[in-house]
């Protein structure tokens, strides 16, 4: 059986190899991915790399043959269609790079112990062909605008804007 090669596009260039693989193989333990990198089973441009290696445009990642047909069994969440419709009506603005959503209070951003699904799961179900990620978070009990990226390039751009203080999160409470 032959290995599989993945080619890096502009959306993933600049990402660390370990984070890229965590995204592709969500149900594979991180320790297994680190082990495969350390043993040289995963290579970039036919060479060994470290987990901190930053991917470049047109890099080729060699995936071992036993991972080609790996079932990435992310639990198939059954999100009610009504929740997806609520999400779509809460969209304030969107373009090719982002979605701005008005988050309701008591809706978690992430799934967890007491939550089957969160806003991010609903967003991913609403845009199944895109790489949906949160740009920032707000507490479960907080309502307000939430920025969701539709691609990694915009996510990195927004995080850079936060780091360089060109964007600031503002918290304003209305007390009655």
Q: So which residues are the catalytic ones?
A: 139
Give residue 90's Cα distance to chain centre: 21
Which residues sit opposite 101 in a β-bridge?
Answer: 91, 146
All residues at 6 or more sequence positions from 115 whose CB lies less than 8 Å from its CB, including other chains: 108
Alpha-carbon gap, residue 91 to 100, rounded angstroms: 6
Describe the strand order of the beta sheet including 4-7 as a list of residue ranges: 4-7, 60-63, 43-44
Alpha-carbon gap, residue 17 to 14, rounded angstroms: 9
């Amino acid at each position: 059986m032959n290995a599989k090669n993945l080619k890096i596009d502009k959306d993933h260039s600049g990402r660390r190899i370990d984070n890229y693989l965590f995204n592709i193989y969500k149900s594979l333990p991180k320790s297994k991915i680190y082990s495969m990198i350390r043993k040289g089973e995963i290579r970039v441009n036919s060479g060994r790399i470290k987990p901190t290696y930053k991917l470049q445009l047109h890099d080729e990642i060699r995936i071992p043959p036993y991972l080609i047909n790996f079932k990435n069994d992310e639990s198939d969440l059954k999100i009610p269609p009504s929740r997806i419709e609520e999400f779509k009506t809460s969209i304030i603005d969107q373009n090719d790079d982002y979605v701005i959503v008005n988050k309701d209070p008591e809706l978690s951003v992430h799934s967890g112990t007491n939550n089957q699904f969160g806003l991010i799961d609903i967003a991913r179900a609403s845009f199944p062909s895109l790489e949906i990620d949160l740009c920032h978070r707000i507490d479960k009990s907080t309502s307000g605008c939430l920025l969701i990226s539709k691609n990694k390039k915009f996510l990195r751009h927004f995080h850079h804007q936060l780091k360089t203080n060109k964007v600031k999160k503002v918290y304003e409470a209305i007390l009655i």
